[in-house]
Amino acid sequence: MKTAAIEVRGARRVYGFGPSAMVALDDVDLSVQPGRFVSVIGPSGCGKSTLLRLVAGLEPADRGEVGIHGVSPEEACAAKMVGLVPQTPALLPWLSVLKNVTLPQKVNRGAARRRAAIGEAADRVAPPEPPDMAELLRKAGLAEAAHKLPGELSGGMQQRTAIVRAFGLQPEVLLMDEPFSALDEFTRESLQEQLLDLWDELKTTVLFVTHSVSEAVRLSDAIVIMAAKPGRIIDVVNVDLPRPRGRDLLKTPEFHHLEDLIRDKLRGAWHTQVA
């Protein structure tokens, strides 16, 4: 079996001390094979963002292990194997769109060597050449925006820029934390399509945190369902819908059936939490 792209074992994370302590994650196990698109869904406070931050190496686990292609998140980040798309676009307002998406290539220049070393050990192909960012922007429909400042773009275009910035690294693992939650329904759907197009082209492993059921069903190969207090994984549902997933798929009974299934499980999680 290949090394998992994301491997979380017995992860526990507690915020605070004593009686006010909050168990954000309790005994979480998750294994994501390379090239899979996996969504994480659950009510507020179920620790889905915490899980993402553990994988991104932004927080340590209090107990348990997190691995990315067999190395720690810190090593994976140092090799620029991890791309992050946060909730807000997090663009630098003084840089043009093109400069914003190329800046990741300019920092941490030692990463390519480290990535090659990890790639060999994990029996992965050598990291690809850095892509032409102008070309990638064009594919994302941002050709005309390339020399504009982020402040001159709409929210949807800003978030698209943030996605291109993350894909530009050709990361082994792409972590997305509710990237479309601040956008309107139409922009959201068109961005989902573009995300799938980009993902199709630059096959990479995606961990996608969301609280939208239809978004999770449309995008994912598998959906991880979490519950709160303590934050834990209650179920993993495989989504066996055919790809590419165009707009028509959203109307099919299979799609609705999956949506209902996920909703039922989420409701179940919510009830056990209240009881």
Partner 1 sequence: MTSLDDYVATSPETERPVTEATEPSRYSLRHPKSRIGFLHPKVWLPLVVMLVVLGVLWEWGARSMPYLLPKLSSVGAALADEPDYYLRNAWVTLWEALLGLILGFVAAFFLAVLVSERAWARRAIMPVAVVLNVTPLVAIAPVLVVAFGFGPEPKLIVTGLICFFPILINTSVGLRAVPAEVVQVYRTLKASRLEMLWRIRVPSSLPYLFAALRIVFPLSIVGAVVAELSAPGAAAGLGTAISLASTMNRLPVVFASIAILALMGSVLLLLVTMAERRVLHWHETTKGAAG
Instruction: Summarize as ranges the residues that interact with partner 1 (CB under 8 A).
Output: 56-58, 74, 77-78, 80, 82-84, 86-88, 90, 92-94, 103-104, 106-108, 111, 149-152, 165, 169, 175
Rounded to a whole number of angstroms, the minimum distance from the CB of residue 76 to partner 1 is 9
Residue 107 CB partners (closer than 8 Å, separation 6+): none
Nearer to partner 1 among residue 97 and residue 239 (C-beta) = 97
267 backbone dihedrals φ, ψ, rounded to 5°? -65, -40
Nearer to partner 1 among residue 149 and residue 234 (C-beta) = 149
Sequence letter at residue 171: P
Nearer to partner 1 among residue 133 and residue 269 (C-beta) = 133
3 state SS for 63-107? EEEEEECCECHHHHHHCCCEEEECCCCCCCCCCCHHHHHHHHHHC
Rounded to a whole number of angstroms, the minimum distance from the CB of residue 55 to partner 1 is 10
Q: How is residue 169 written in tokens? A: 């690294």
Rounded to a whole number of angstroms, the minimum distance from the CB of residue 178 to partner 1 is 11
Rounded to a whole number of angstroms, the minimum distance from the CB of residue 263 to partner 1 is 29
Nearer to partner 1 among residue 101 and residue 196 (C-beta) = 101
207 bridge partner residues: 38, 175
Residue 252 CB partners (closer than 8 Å, separation 6+): none
- What is the longest distance spanned by two Cα atoms in the chain? 55
Task: Give the Cα separation of 219 and 192 in Å (integer).
Answer: 7
Task: Give the Cα separation of 187 and 137 in Å (integer).
Answer: 17
Rounded to a whole number of angstroms, the minimum distance from the CB of residue 182 to partner 1 is 11
Rounded to a whole number of angstroms, the minimum distance from the CB of residue 1 to partner 1 is 27
Q: Nearest CA to 33 among 203, 172, 205, 202?
A: 205
For residue 46, what is the DSSP state? S
Nearer to partner 1 among residue 26 and residue 172 (C-beta) = 172
Other C-beta atoms closer than 10 Å to the C-beta of 147 total 12
Rounded to a whole number of angstroms, the minimum distance from the CB of residue 61 to partner 1 is 16
Q: Nearest CA to 180 among 45, 87, 250, 247?
A: 87
Rounded to a whole number of angstroms, the minimum distance from the CB of residue 238 to partner 1 is 28
Nearer to partner 1 among residue 26 and residue 178 (C-beta) = 178
Nearer to partner 1 among residue 89 and residue 230 (C-beta) = 89
Q: Nearest CA to 75 among 32, 105, 108, 100?
A: 108
Nearer to partner 1 among residue 165 and residue 218 (C-beta) = 165
